[in-house]
Amino acid sequence: MATRTFPEMPTVSSLLTAYASVSAFVMIFRTMFEQLVPLPLRNYAIDLVKHYLKPRSSELILLIEEKDGYNPNEMFNAAEVFLATKINRDSKRLRITKSLKENHINIKLAESEEIVDSFEGVEVTWKYCSQQQKQLNAENDDGFVPEKRYLELKFDKNKKDVIINSYLPFVIEKAHEIKIQRKVVQLHNLRSPDSGHFSLKQTVNLDHPSTFETLAMDQKLKKEIIEDLDLFVKRKDFYKRVGKAWKRGYLLYGPPGTGKSSLIAAMANHLKFDIFDLQLMNVKDNSSLKDILLETSNRSILVIEDIDCSIVPDRKEPSSSSESHRDGPKDSIKLTNQMFTLSGLLNFIDGLWSCCGDERIIVFTTNHKERLDPALLRPGRMDMHINMSYLTMDGFKTLAANYLNIHDDHRRFREIKQLIKSKKVTPAEVAEELMKSDNMELALEGVVKFLKRKRARDDEDSE
Ligand SMILES: Nc1ncnc2c1ncn2[C@@H]1O[C@H](COP(=O)(O)OP(=O)(O)OP(=O)(O)O)[C@@H](O)[C@H]1O
Ligand SMILES: [Mg+2]
């Protein structure tokens, strides 16, 4: 029968003896080390040992703080917006915010929550952290405890270049796109500096429902305008390369009620640009015009409505309009000290925008294109002249879809087409008729009666 042999086990007393001699050696070594080695050298030696014994980490953590000194840190804001799109069902705690001006709820990570994302095969982990600033707290006896908020971005150290040079710019770009999508378009009324108000602009959210979809106009022209706008916002590099201010000018002309103001709102809603409405009548002189214009921001539409009505003829000019054409510029705006032609105004705005303006659109509207200074109509002055004309059948179908939800043909359409063809009628007039009833048949009947009445009235007038 096989017998098993075990190595001899150390006894308890031998273990205790060994322990005693090792600790005695450590104590002697420590005393000698402390007595013989000077303090700075000792610290250095300790740091060196710690450094080599520390487990090697292959991770790098970037701290992205909410504030850069007193300034907001754009990278932090962009990351918060971006991370809201990455929140998944693993998240346990989230923060919700909404400001008065926003029409959506913001979802953000709560303290210590993490989100894992990947970019070009690199895995990154985001973590939201906040720290109460204790040192400041002592001086603040009003009970307000400032918080230092930051995001930690953790990833493989070897991927530092990809993260810093590609991932972070990608996050900024994505956040920018999201912000544009969510932007609430605003309408600013620009006021003269001496109008007794503290601010030069009065701002409200633009709640105008007009979009290119609801706008009744020639489909081909509508498509052209949308393409023109889309190309304009895409061409930052082009404008830079050719050394031109990144701006575009549109002149909208046509009778009242044909949708000029609606088109401006549709443009603003399409591009998510703010509108700045400039009332030229209020502008006293060149320098207040400059002050007002400096209130406008990038990605905006500067609107000067009814330019033909903003004109106050110079007293020296003869009163008859035929003579005024001969003797001087008719469409000049009388400012306190000088005459200001619309072309001069455009030059002035161009000059200002070429040094401090990006993605600017300027829109003039008029009911009487023929009254404008030919200099303004010269090619190159306004980039696009848009004729907002009387209603066509194409436009009527858009209105019928908007107001009555008619998306196909209707038996009344043929009759309406004939009537619209023979009579000049504005989209505003027909829109008003369509609003009178929710009932499709009654509303269309109302339109037919209105068009017939209008024809009969015009026939009477011409007799
Ligand atoms: N082309 C259109 N498409 C859809 N609705 C229109 C159109 N034109 C006018 N409307 C309707 O008529 C109303 C008045 O139109 P809008 O103020 O845009 O006309 P306008 O051309 O700016 O007139 P004005 O020259 O008097 O300023 C709009 O609120 C809208 O309901
Ligand atoms: Mg208008």
Give me the residues paired with residue 227 across strands: none
Q: 172-181, 308-317, 428-437 — which is least confidently predicted?
A: 308-317
Ligand 1 test: best mutation among 258, 262, 391, 436, most atoms within 8 Å of CB? 262
Ligand 1 within 6 A of 431 CB? Answer: yes
| Spatial separation of the C-alpha atoms in residues 276 and 268, rounded to whole Å | 10
Query: How many helices and strands in the chain, by DSSP H and E?
Result: 17, 17
List CB contacts of 129: < 8 A, sequence separation 6 or more.
Answer: 111, 112, 149, 150, 151, 152
Instruction: Give the residue, 8 or 304, on which the prediction is more confident.
Output: 304
What residue ranges in 4-121 does DSSP mark as E strands? 59-65, 67-68, 71-72, 94-97, 106-109, 114-119
Ligand 1 within 6 A of 260 CB? Answer: yes
Q: 97-106, 125-134, 272-281, 319-328 — which is least confidently predicted?
A: 319-328
Look at residue 329 in the predicted model and tell me its pLDDT.
43
pLDDT in tens, 374-409: 777 777 778 999 999 999 999 999 999 999 998 888
Ligand 1 test: best mutation among 206, 225, 261, 363, most atoms within 8 Å of CB? 261
List CB contacts of 137: < 8 A, sequence separation 6 or more.
Answer: 145, 146
Neighbours of ion ligand 2 (CB under 5 A): 260-261
Ligand 1 within 6 A of 216 CB? Answer: yes
Nearest CA to ligand 1 atom 18: 259
List CB contacts of 119: < 8 A, sequence separation 6 or more.
Answer: 162, 163, 166, 167, 170
**pTM for the whole thing?**
0.72
Ligand 1 within 6 A of 427 CB? Answer: yes
Look at residue 135 in the predicted model and tell me its pLDDT.
54
Ligand 1 test: best mutation among 221, 258, 425, 432, most atoms within 8 Å of CB? 258
C-alpha torsion angle, residues 51, 54, 60, 66 (rounded to 10): -80
Look at residue 310 in the predicted model and tell me its pLDDT.
64
Does the pLDDT value for residue 330 go beyond 50? no
What is the arithmetic mean of pLDDT over 31-47? Answer: 81
Q: What separation in Å is there between the alpha carbon of 426 and the centre of ligand 2? A: 13
> What is the DSSP secondary structure assignment for residue 127, as one 8-state letter?
E
Q: What separation in Å is there between the alpha carbon of 200 and the centre of ligand 2? A: 22
Q: What separation in Å is there between the alpha carbon of 214 and the centre of ligand 1? A: 11
Please give the number of the atom of ligand 1 that sits closest to the Cα of 367: 25
Ligand 1 within 6 A of 400 CB? Answer: no
Listing DSSP states for 189-205 in one string gives EE--TTSS-SSSEEEEE
| Spatial separation of the C-alpha atoms in residues 58 and 48, rounded to whole Å | 19
pLDDT in tens, 200-244: 777 787 877 899 999 999 999 999 999 999 999 999 889 888 888
Ligand 1 within 6 A of 428 CB? Answer: yes
Are 108 and 128 in contact by the 8 Å Cβ rule? The answer is yes
Which domains, and CATH codes, for the chain?
59-182 (no CATH), 186-387 (3.40.50.300), 393-462 (no CATH)
Q: What separation in Å is there between the alpha carbon of 255 and the centre of ligand 1? A: 10
* Distances, alpha carbon 103 to alpha carbons 1, 96, 321, in Å: 89, 13, 50
What is the arithmetic mean of pLDDT over 5-33? Answer: 79
Which band of pLDDT confidence, cut at 50, 70 and 90, is reported for residue 318? very low
Nearest CA to ligand 1 atom 12: 428
pLDDT in tens, 70-91: 888 999 999 999 999 998 888 8
Please give the number of the atom of ligand 1 that sits closest to the Cα of 254: 21
Please give the number of the atom of ligand 1 that sits closest to the Cα of 264: 18
ipTM: 0.98
Are 203 and 190 in contact by the 8 Å Cβ rule? The answer is no
Please give the number of the atom of ligand 1 that sits closest to the Cα of 305: 27
Look at residue 81 in the predicted model and tell me its pLDDT.
92
Q: What separation in Å is there between the alpha carbon of 336 and the centre of ligand 2? A: 27
Does the pLDDT value for residue 344 go beyond 90? no
> What is the DSSP secondary structure assignment for residue 165, as one 8-state letter?
I
